[in-house]
Amino acid sequence: MKPLSFIVFFAVPVLCTNVWAGPAFGLKGGVNLANATVHPSERLSYNIKPGFLVGPAAEISLSKSNETAMRWEILYAQKGCKISGGRFFGHDEEVLVSANELALALFLVLRFPPRAMTPFLQMGPELGISLSAEWTEEIPDLDFSKTEKIEDWRSTNSSVNLGAGVAIRSGKGEVVIDARYNLGLSNMNTSDEDINFKTNGIQFLLGYNFTVPSR
């Protein structure tokens, strides 16, 4: 998804939606079990690199019963992967790819009938704005480590989120627990090398909506 198209898609519901209740604002954070899909893999192993996510969120009801809602998130997200299986003059080599993004995510939320504990399904697109990208090469046997900036890294990253969660009423607000799979669609490699590098990750988040209108 092109950045301009995403911005339009991100903003139009705010302007055009018949909102049944005022928006709910909150904060959330959690862990991203980040990885990548790379072709060709060159017999290397791509493993999880734990990172974190944190940022604000807002949600509005699209139906009077609140069974359908739209949610916006702006998260600082750590992505990347661990690469192992390489050899350097007979020594095992490991590479850590670290990419930090400002993730703008839009979700269609399908809530089950409102109650004290309300499960929901969620899906939607995400546009990641690259803040930094670097790789760290390590050769444990030689006690060697080197970190460099990745120059050939795309400035934006399009992806799709699919997941589920539960909202638990707490005082005037609600605690929100959700899990999602983030599937990268963009090839982040912009070099002349024929390598397709797409991020992905399993994400677990805990948040709290401070203002929740009566449903």
For the chain, the domains span 3-209
For residue 23, the model assigns a pLDDT of 80
On whether the 3-209 domain is CATH 1.10.1740, my answer is: no
Tell me the average pLDDT across 125-130. 97
40 cis-preceded (ω within 30 degrees of 0): yes
* Structural Rg of the chain based on CA atoms: 20
Q: How confident is the model at residue 15 (pLDDT cuts 50, 70, 90)?
A: very low
CA-closest candidate to residue 206, choices 168, 159, 162: 168
d(CA 136, CA 146): 5
In this prediction, residue 91 has a pLDDT band, given cuts at 50, 70 and 90, of confident
pLDDT at 166: 95
Mean pLDDT of the chain: 87
Which pLDDT belongs to residue 89? 65
Q: Which helix (H) or strand (E) holds 156?
A: strand 156-170
pLDDT for 16 equals 47
Residue 21's pLDDT band (cuts 50, 70, 90): low
Q: Of 55-64, 69-78, 170-179, which one has max mean pLDDT?
A: 69-78
- Contact assessment for residue 62 and residue 91, using Cβ atoms and an 8 Å cutoff: no
Asked if 46 and 82 touch (Cβ cutoff 8 Å), the reply is yes
CA 10, 15, 19, 24 torsion-angle sign = positive
Asked if pLDDT for residue 157 goes beyond 80, the answer is yes
Sign of CA dihedral 203, 155, 49, 39: positive
Range of lowest pLDDT (7-21, 84-98, 141-155, 192-206): 7-21
d(CA 210, CA 8) in angstroms, rounded, equals: 27
Cβ atoms of residues 175 and 208 within 8 Å:
yes
Q: Is 9 helix (H, G, I), strand (E, B) or coil?
A: helix
pTM for this one? Answer: 0.86
Residue 176 near residue 167 (C-beta atoms within 8 A): yes
More confident residue, 79 or 92: 79
Q: What is the pLDDT of residue 2?
A: 57
